[in-house]
Amino acid sequence: MSDARYWKAALKAEEFLAGRTTPASLPIDPFEIARELAIEVQAKPATASGVSGMLARHGDVFGILYATHIASEGYRRFSVAHELGHYLLPGHMDHVLPNGQGIHESRAGFVSPDPFEMEADHFAAGLLMPARLVSKALTRMGDGLGAVEQLSDLCKTSLTASAIRYAERTTTSVAVVVSTGQLVDYCFMSKSLREFDGLDWLRKKERLPAGCQTQRFNSQPANVENAERADAETDLRDWFGGSRKLPGIEEVIGLGSYGKTLTILTTEIEQDDEDEDEDLEESWTPRFRR
């Protein structure tokens, strides 16, 4: 996921924001940006299942359509930002509308394996949650699910999109896991968590660790539908392996009609905690010897 191509797509969004006359402030309004670019935005029923939005071109006239089945304001905004990505990212127009006209159907929200769709998703994340503004906001927000919810309120983005951006920008060791039933849909790890020795990525379709809170939560579908929440102590080693215990907190929330569950794993153990203990011993020993 942290492919240079995707990182550049997010950067492109931030460059676009920097080039506007008004300085960026949260929340960023993708509808207003479309208006500035003279792109008409309309709600329209999707023609195929899973379609989040469409980019339409007729001559030099562009339109963005977002699927009416999308109830969540955050996801609508993300879908519009995704289409703006197709409009603004180099090479996208030729790829998604190869005949120079017609309609491109999108599947936004980090669900499509198509690299153009993924680039447009990363563009959308960068546009709605610019790195500098998010990092600054996170310094006031604590950690874990609470920070994700505050970021979602501030940026008017969905919990999952906010959680992914949180994992990208936080200095804390966290992982974001989205699951359905007993299976992992995807997982993002923060930079500082990735630096621990021997941790493995949770792969798509892998089973959740046996006995974890998320597994118990998902065994009752009503928990997911009713957006219930739960938390428990956990050891991140149960999730990612590795050579040492990583005690932490597992926070779980059902994503309602989306049918998925969001889990935030947070540990306060720091990479160099062990080394620091050793340094401390070394620095003390000579004194005792004196």
Cα–Cα distance measured from residue 144 to residue 134, given in angstroms and rounded to the nearest whole number: 15
**What is the full DSSP assignment across 106-171?**
E-TTTT---HHHHHHHHHHHHHHS-HHHHHHHHTTS-STHHHHHHHHHHHT--HHHHHHHHHHH-S
* CB 100 to Zn ion: min, Å: 17
Write the Ramachandran bin of 59: left for phi over 0, alpha for psi from -120 to 50, otherwise beta: left
Considering the rule CB under 5 A, would residue 79 count as an interface residue with Zn ion? no
CA distance 95 to 234: 45
Site size for Zn ion, by CB under 5 A? 3
Question: What would you report as the CA-atom Rg of the chain, rounded to the nearest whole angstrom?
Answer: 21
| Binding span for Zn ion by CB under 5 A among 21-29, 117-125, 150-158, 233-241 | 117-125
Task: Look at residue 188 and give its three-state secondary structure.
Answer: strand
Minimum CB distance to Zn ion smaller for 65 or for 224: 65
Least distance CB 117 / Zn ion (angstroms):
5
Q: Which two tokens stand for residue 136?
A: 């600054």
Nearer to Zn ion, 44 or 229 (CB): 44
160 binds Zn ion (CB under 5 A): no
Q: Binding string to Zn ion for residues 246 to 265, with x set by CB under 5 A, is what?
A: --------------------
Which amino acid, 255? L
Sole window of 11-19, 20-28, 62-70, 120-128 interacting with Zn ion (rule: CB under 5 A): 120-128
Return the SS3 of 84: helix
Q: Running DSSP on this structure, what letter comes out for residue 21?
A: S
The reply on whether position 106 binds Zn ion by CB under 5 A is yes
Task: Report, in Å, the least distance between residue 134 CB and Zn ion.
Answer: 23
Nearer to Zn ion, 67 or 120 (CB): 120
Q: How far is the CB of 64 from Zn ion (least distance, A)?
A: 11
Note the helical H segments in the chain.
Answer: 4-18, 30-36, 73-88, 92-96, 115-128, 131-138, 145-155, 159-169, 191-194, 213-218, 221-225, 236-240, 273-289
Stretch that binds Zn ion, among 4-12, 100-108, 126-134, 225-233 (CB under 5 A): 100-108
CB of 202 to Zn ion, least distance (A): 26
Angle at 82 between CA 96 and CA 126, to 5 degrees: 130
Pattern 183-212, Zn ion, x by CB under 5 A: ------------------------------
| All residues at 6 or more sequence positions from 284 whose CB lies less than 8 Å from its CB, including other chains | none
Q: How far is the CB of 92 from Zn ion (least distance, A)?
A: 8
Scanning 12-20, 33-41, 114-122, 156-164 for contacts with Zn ion by CB under 5 A, the matching segment is 114-122
* Stretch near Zn ion under the rule CB under 5 A, chosen from 38-46, 115-123, 221-229, 274-282: 115-123
Can you give the binding site for Zn ion, defined by CB under 5 A?
Answer: 106, 117, 120
